Amino acid sequence: MKYNKPLLITSILALLATPIAFAGDDANGSGSGEGGSTNGETVGDTQTATIIVPEVSLIDVTNTVSATLTAPTDAGDNFATVAVTEATNYAISANNDAANPNQTRKIVATSTNVPLGWKFGITMAAPTASGASAGEVFLTNGVTSVDTVTGIKNVANHGLALGIKVGPEDAATMPSYTGAGGQAVTIVYTITADQ
C-alpha cells in the first residue's frame, strides 16, 4: 500500500492545529474547568447557591401559674410579694434577616388586665447565644408593656429561666381582692423588632 506523503503530512498537521477541548473544560470552552486551562485562563470555577431560610419567631412559656398571697395580720401592713408556685421557664427559636446582620429582636411582656394595686415582677434569662436580660421588670394596672430581653440575634434555646412574682404595687397600696376563686391575669410574651 502506497501513501501520498504530502497529503498524509498535511492531514497530520491539520489535526495538530485543531484546538482540543479537555474533558474537564466547561461547555463554552473558557478553559476554567478542572481539566486545566486551554485558553490561558486560571484553573477554577464558581458556583452560586440560592438558599431559602424561612423567618422564625417562636416563644413558649410555662402556660399556667398560680400564687396565693397571705393577708397581713396587723393594721397598716400590706401583703408580701410572693413567687408563683410552679417552676417556670421558657423556650425560644428566632432568627434575623440575613441581609441585615446587625438586626436584633426583643421579648416584650404585655398585660391589659392587671387589677388595681397588683404588681407582677418578671425576670427572663437571656438566650445563651445572644441577648441581654432587662432584670426584673414590672407590669401593673398602669404599666401594660415591658421589655424583658433585648439584643436577640439568631437563637434556639430550651429551659431558660423565667421568674414571676406577684404582690402589691407599692407599700402603701393594697392589691384588689379576688375572693376564693382567684383572678386570672393574662400575660402575653412576644418577639418583636428591637428599637
On whether both 115 and 24 belong to a single domain, the answer is no
- In this prediction, residue 108 carries a pLDDT of 98
pLDDT for the residue numbered 13: 53
Looking at the fold, whether 68 and 127 belong to one and the same domain comes out as yes
Tell the burial category of 114 from Cβ atoms under 10 Å away from its Cβ (0-12, 13-18, 19+).
buried
Q: What is the H or E stretch that residue 7 is in?
A: helix 5-17
What pLDDT is attached to residue 168?
A: 97
Q: What range defines the domain where residue 1 resides?
A: 1-43
Identify which has the larger pLDDT, 78 or 27.
78
Asked if residue 126 is part of any domain, the answer here is yes
Q: Is residue 112 one of the residues assigned to a domain? A: yes
Mean pLDDT of 84-104: 94
Q: CA–CA separation, 180 vs 135, rounded Å? A: 32
Q: Cα(174)–Cα(167) distance, rounded to whole angstroms?
A: 9
* Nearest-5° Cα angle at 113, 167 to 65: 55
In this prediction, residue 43 carries a pLDDT of 81
Lowest-confidence segment of 19-33, 44-58, 110-124, 137-151 by average pLDDT: 19-33
**Would you say residue 34 lies in a domain?**
yes
pTM of the model: 0.75
Number of domains in the chain: 2
What's the CA gap between 192 and 195, in Å, rounded? 9
Provide the grid cell at 143. Answer: 404599666
